[in-house]
Amino acid sequence: MFQEKKVTAVLLAGGSGTRFGGEKNKVYVEACGVPVLEYSHRVLEECPLVDELIFVARAGEEEEIQPYLDRSGKTARFVLGGDTRQESVYHALLAAAGEIVLIQDGARPMLTERYVRECVETMALYPGATVGVRSKDTIKLADSSGLVKCTTRRADTWMIQTPQCFLRDVLLASHEKERGNPEITDDCMLLERAGLPVKLIEGDYTNIKVTTAEDLALVERLLELRDRRKGSE
């Protein structure tokens, strides 16, 4: 039965601090006094649908991850990432015990339990799912010289976020078929190229990725507002 399928949550923590403006990995930078990675970890740790946690990080960051492993109440492990996001996810898939894998970017601290639940529940009907938001802007596709080729239909254009969720065997087979392909920028693309459906789950515009110092300032403001709402309930 679907309800008996185990879920492995993969936390990608192998980013760099290049665009953030420093050498420190941005997932360990603090937002409101707490490392950015901690926010996603809390949600996944507390979610009853998640059976296993895999932290994917760069060599030399084992000490940063170890405290999360030590205090986890679930099966938790560290996996060494690769040179690309695609390679890092592939390494996690090889280590995952769950029939379902949920992939979360550690630099997105606004993860909610709803995203996790809806992604996992969607696996009863589809082999892949991703959280995203409808584009508020007109999106144009251009060629390599910067000339407009066409304009997307705004109603059909989504900005993709994480988490993303997949049947492990399906995603693993897709990774093995497309290994080393530089055109792959997220895991949904692998299923798309295989002709498999990916279900879009409506997310929230606050589910931003911390890439720059400006992003961090915005996240801190969003976290403060969220805490105020909880305090007034």
Strand, helix or coil for residue 200 = strand
Q: What is the pLDDT of residue 1?
A: 43
Q: CATH number, domain at 121?
A: 3.90.550.10
Report whether pLDDT(165) > 60: yes
- As a whole number, mean pLDDT of residues 74-103 equals 96
Report whether pLDDT(21) > 60: no
Report whether pLDDT(62) > 70: yes
Instruction: Place 13 in a pLDDT band, splitting at 50, 70 and 90.
Output: very high
Structurally, how many domains does the chain consist of? Answer: 1
Per-chain mean pLDDT for the chain: 93
- As a whole number, mean pLDDT of residues 16-33 equals 76
- Count CB neighbours of 98 within 10 A: 20
- As a whole number, mean pLDDT of residues 86-115 equals 97
Q: Please state whether beta strands 158-167 and 100-105 pair in parallel, antiparallel, or not at all (unpaired).
A: antiparallel
Tens of pLDDT, residue by residue over 149-159, are: 999 999 999 99
The span from the CA of 172 to the CA of 175, in Å, is 5
- Count CB neighbours of 96 within 10 A: 24
Q: Which domain covers residue 219, as residue numbers?
A: 2-232
Name the residue with higher pLDDT: 127 or 16. Answer: 127
User: 130 has which bridge partners?
Assistant: 164, 200
- As a whole number, mean pLDDT of residues 20-40 equals 87
Cα 114 to chain centroid distance, Å, stands at 14
